[in-house]
Amino acid sequence: MLLSISLATKAHLYLWDEPMNYIDVISREQIEKVILDNDITLIFVEHDNYFKKKIANKNIEINSNKRYNFMNFYNNLKKIEFFRQFILIFS
């Protein structure tokens, strides 16, 4: 319900913390459609890989107290793994 209210309120930026927790499949699909159809700027924390892959175009992964900023994280997994190894070797 709060996600719907949030999306119904015009904003330059939306900040969501795990928005897909406890959301049914039909509502999830509707929320994804609204986000994709309306060019919404959204910063969110989410553990649902499907939602992240579908919605995000930039990802920041926080792991072992290091930050990695990747474009299209889930579409370029092999490149990212190489880059991660590179960072670990030279940091």
Per-residue pLDDT of the chain in tens (91 residues, 90 and over written 9): 677 788 788 888 888 888 888 889 998 999 899 989 988 888 888 888 888 888 888 877 766 666 555 555 555 555 555 555 555 554 3
| CA separation, residue 67 to residues 12, 16, 63, 79 (Å) | 25, 20, 7, 16
The pLDDT value recorded for residue 37 is 92
Two tokens, residue 20 = 């897909």
Give residues with Cβ within 8 angstroms of 69, minimum separation 6.
Answer: 58, 59, 60
Assess contact for 29 and 20: CB atoms under 8 A.
no
User: pTM value?
Assistant: 0.61
Assess contact for 19 and 48: CB atoms under 8 A.
no
